Structure formats: structure tokens, C-alpha cells
Amino acid sequence: MNFLSSLISLLFPFTCPECGKALKEGDFWCDICLRKNLNIHLINSSFNEYLDGCYTLSNYDKGIRRALIQLKYNNQKSRKKSIEYMVESFNYWDRFKKYKLVVPIPLSKQRLEERGYNQVDLIFKDVFKRKNFFYKSNLLIKKRNTKVQSKLRKKDRKENMKNVFIVNKRFNIKDKNILLLDDIYTSGATMLYAAKALKKAGAKSVMGFVVSSGAI
């Protein structure tokens, strides 16, 4: 890093998650890097009896992968801005019209205490509140701690997530259309079991929305 870029990063410490270049105030990606990372689509394997499919914004790779890891494991909450910016780049908001109730995948009580925050809330809460959705962080409850999905083999991932979610009894979700949020979609087991819990509690339909998907 030369003197000038050191000075710039000192004055404007925010860097692009992809190329590491210092950004000017108010920017959270280089335009080119953001475009490289965006890959908005419905995940092929996400349609099942509980879930009406799941939209993803990107492949779990490159800059967005780095940003998510920094937010989740390195306690770099400033990365929220880059990921949030990517969420706002979503261009099919009209497809979410019927899903007024928005529910993030929760952490277990133990994990929440360790990390101090649910990264899914950091990523989505402000955006969805600005867009006048009903965002309910405490609607789903994760009953126990599970192993990190990415460290398990595919066949063990379903077993790991089985019946781990329940719906908070304070909420009546009968006949509600629910948008279910998570940061990363890998095998789809997390989304599947969370959607199953929502459907069992009476939800009419559940649609997924994640930042990233794909192999780890």
C-alpha cells in the first residue's frame, strides 16, 4: 500500500469487500465489484412442500463471502453496510407484496449471547422496516444449539436442523404469508425446517430470501 492510499484509508476507512480498495464516504462497494458479486435468482432446489422457493442475491464466493464472514465471525459490524447495500440492490420487491410478515432465522440463546447479535437482523431489519414490512425477530425460536452447518457433510445437515425451530406462542400466524430470511443457504435444511415450523403453526405460505447461496 503506498502512502497516498494509506492516507485515504485513514481518512475513509471503509473498504470494498471484494478488492479492498478504500471507498469514498457513502460507498460500500466499487460498482464493478458489486456487479461481479450480484447474482439474483431463485434457488433451484428451494421448492418443497413447506417453502415456495428462495431468492438469493449472490453466490457464496468472493467479496460477499468475505463480508459475511467478517460480519459473522470477526465481529466487524461495519460490514453490515456492504451487505445491506446488496439487499437494497434486489430488484424484485414486487414479488414480496403478499409477504407483509418478515421473519429472520434466529440464533440459539447460547449463540446469541456469545456473538451479541444476530447477523441476519443486522443485514435485513433496517431495510425491511424502511419498506414497511412487519419484521419480527422473536417469532421463531431456535430451541437448541446446532453444529455449524458448513462443517457438516450434506447428509448430516438435515439431521442437525431437524425440529430445532418452534413458533413463539405469542404470535398468531394462521393464514399469514411469511417471508423467511437468512444470510446463507447451503443445503437448504435450515430454511426447510424453519418453514416447516411456520407451516405447522398455521402459516399459509413461506417464501425464502437469503444473501448468498451455494457450496462452501
Point out which residues bind Zn ion (CB under 5 A): 16, 18-19, 30, 33
Is the separation of the CB atoms in 82 and 36 below 8 Å? Answer: no
Residue at 112: amino acid letter: L
Nearer to Zn ion, 76 or 145 (CB): 76
Are 38 and 89 in contact, with CB atoms under 8 Å apart?
yes
**Pairing mode, if any, of strands 140-142 and 38-42?**
unpaired
Q: Which amino acid is at 166?
A: I
Nearer of residues 37 and 46 to Zn ion, judged by Cβ? 37
Q: Which three cell numbers stand for residue 158?
A: 438435515
Q: How far is the CB of 204 from Zn ion (least distance, A)?
A: 42
When the beta carbons of 19 and 141 are compared against Zn ion, the nearer one is 19
Whole-number Cα distances in Å, 142 to 32, 49, 167, 194: 38, 21, 9, 9
Q: Which is nearer to Zn ion, 27 or 183 (CB)?
A: 27
